Amino acid sequence: MDLPRIFTIRESSHRIHNPFTPGKLAALGQALHLPPGTRVLDLASGSGEMLCTWARDHGFTGTGVDISSRGVEKARARAAELDVADRVTFVHDDAAGFVADEPVDLAACVGATWIGGGVAGTVELLARSLRPGGLMLIGEPYWRREVPDEATARACHATARADFLPLPGLVEQFGALGYDVVEMMLASQDSWDRYQAAQWLNLRRWLDAHPDDELAEEVRAELTTEPVRYTRYQREYLGWGVFALMGR
């Protein structure tokens, strides 16, 4: 049970595995106005940056769950580095279907709604761990502009235009699921650039160090095509944000 190696190579230098800068992640934590002692469940927690820094900055406690063994290793190391290992725990497990032993104050899935088969399923999954009146965080892409055709949608790593909604449509979807949107933090094109462009450097450095690896051809192909694809399509059409929800 793990992520394919290409994912680990692509994001090897990342602490945040979404198009958020550290400043945006910190601003989101401040904007939620949650007290010390807030209990968090973070599904698909990646390298644990959100849970670790919020434990340090706001006194939160909690658990992160991720299918990547390397991500869990990095998260535990980050917790030790920030001196919060007594407050946060990271579990190597498939986040799909994971439910906390006890209800939490904040349940999050930031950028991995495939664990619930989409937004609706992920909201339902998180709700199973959330105490009444608790706060939910969902990170999800949306269309910044009208997508002209299916080829453009696929170039943005969607399977079809219907995979994502425009921002107002996504907010409406949360309402239709019975939740108020009470805060949001959106990625900018600059934060997208920081996320995507860092991957290209990771790929090139890995390729230079491992020219004979069985993945070398795949990495070379990705490094050749991804900068053009991203700048031509994804940067212009695809947005991303984190939305704080409370049940009605």
The topology under which CATH files domain 5-247 is Rossmann fold (3.40.50)
Q: Which residue shows structure tokens 């050749």?
A: 224
pLDDT recorded at residue 2: 83
Q: How confident is the model at residue 136 (pLDDT cuts 50, 70, 90)?
A: very high
d(CA 142, CA 164): 5
Q: How confident is the model at residue 1 (pLDDT cuts 50, 70, 90)?
A: confident
DSSP annotation string for 169-236: HHHHHHHHTTEEEEEEEE--HHHHHHHHHHHHHHHHHHHHH-TTSTTHHHHHHHHHHHHHHIIIIIHH
> What is the DSSP code (8-state) at residue 166?
B
Q: Is the pLDDT of residue 234 over 80?
A: yes
Tell me: the pLDDT tens digits for 156-181? 999 999 999 999 999 999 999 999 99
Tell me: the pLDDT tens digits for 81-93? 999 999 999 999 9
- Whether the Cβ atoms of residue 104 and residue 39 lie closer than 8 Å to each other: yes
d(CA 148, CA 123): 29
pLDDT recorded at residue 71: 96
d(CA 12, CA 86): 26
Residue 59 has which token pair? 């006194």
d(CA 76, CA 49): 10
What rounded mean pLDDT belongs to the chain? 97
- Every domain of the chain and the residues it spans: 5-247
Percent of the residues in the chain that have a pLDDT greater than 90, as a whole number: 99
Q: How confident is the model at residue 68 (pLDDT cuts 50, 70, 90)?
A: very high
Residue type, 148: P
Predicted TM-score (pTM) above 0.75: yes
Instruction: State phi, psi for 93 to the nearest 5 degrees.
Output: -160, 165
